[in-house]
Amino acid sequence: MTQSNARTAAPHQGFKAGLLRLRNLEHELNEPTTTWGRRYMVLMAMTIVASIFFLFIVDEYPSWFPANSVQLFTVELLIFCIFSVDFVLRLSVTSLRNWRAVVLLLCDALAIVPSAIVVLVFMDVMPAAHVDSLVLLRLFRLLRVVKLLRVSNIIGEVFGASVFSLVFGAMAAHLGLRVLVVEVSRVTSFDVYAFFDRPVLMLAVSAVGYVFGIALAITFGIVKRKQMEITELHRTALDALAAVEYDFQTVLKDAADAAEAKGKRPDFEGWRMQLSHYLQEEYGYEDMKARTNELLHNIRDVVQTRPSMDVPFHAVLTQRLSTFLTKTQVCFHPAFYGWLKRIANLYFVLIMLAAPGLTGLGVQLLVIFVFQGLVVIIDDMDHSVDKAVTIFNSKILDI
């Protein structure tokens, strides 16, 4: 009977172990935490970016990679192999009940089709004459941008918080838009760039660039001044608290011991730890305010035994803690940063239309890195408390 139960339980345990491995694989594909998971995500990000750049180069400079050439076959075969492995891995963990995952999986499959066709034609498995009738399949390459945008959501977790990782999504989106314009122009024989007056666009690029640069410079100065002010408030508040804590160990020792016996001794170190969590947005403002009030009430119960300590308590400690916590909540309205980002995106589109070609692409990506990077840095400096959208801060920034 025991042997029969063991034989029955073995397949069940094997099924559970297999299910657990699939769940771990799904987690690593979407939110990598292990070293190999992060390395795999880096490989995928590099391959996706390289494939989009390659598509752009093939469209702009077709003589570099002629049809049915060895160099074209080599690159497309490499892209096909890497994307196919990723597709198979995601297929093995995708549930049909998750329609978003199914749609993304379909996009992954369609993104592989153009590379597969190039490989099959070169190997004489598919006649080259049939490829001309499938010209719309070229647009399937643009679905690689969907893969890139999906990867850009977790690029910060893989590479860490940096200007590059935080602006990677914007760079990926505009790179995809530029490739879309080139692909549509090639498929429909409608040259989008010829539709615009290039000299007028260059004037617009210069004018908008000057205004945007001045706005960023002024904003940067404002938030830098605020950062210096709040850093000083942070230091003075902690200094005032340290001075009161020293008094509790000396002149107020007897009263502090009596408060401890009643369970009302101020928890200075606990408050500092909570402040650290608050500045990392692990603790809300209302909770931090309530914890600070509790600390001040406990301090007041001890201080009132020595009237000479009333002035330092009310005029120094209470005022500095209150001013510091209040200042952490003062920042530009979110609509302001929404406006900055919209202006930035419009400016990047102007650059795309004014500067086509590979050189224009390099200039556009450089401008995105500089301008969008400044917006990210300013947004981060403006928030003393760390925000989910700007992840540089883990404390009050040093000056």
pLDDT digits (tens, 9 = 90+) for 381-396: 777 665 444 444 433 3
Enter the DSSP assignment of 331.
Answer: -
Q: 40 with 154: CB under 8 angstroms? A: no
Which is more confident, 19 or 322? 322
**Cα 300 to Cα 302: distance, rounded to the nearest angstrom:** 5
Average pLDDT, the chain: 77
**Predicted pLDDT of residue 134:** 53
pTM of the predicted protein model = 0.65
Helical residues (DSSP H) of the chain, grouped into ranges: 2-30, 35-60, 70-93, 99-122, 143-152, 155-159, 163-188, 198-249, 253-261, 268-279, 285-303, 310-311, 319-327, 334-354, 357-382
Range 108-127 average pLDDT:
80
**Cα 132 to Cα 190: distance, rounded to the nearest angstrom:** 18
Give the confidence band of 163 by pLDDT, cuts at 50, 70, 90.
low
Count other C-beta atoms under 10 Å from residue 116's C-beta.
19
CA distances from 148 to 41, 152, 170, 276 (A): 11, 6, 11, 35
**Cα 386 to Cα 282: distance, rounded to the nearest angstrom:** 9
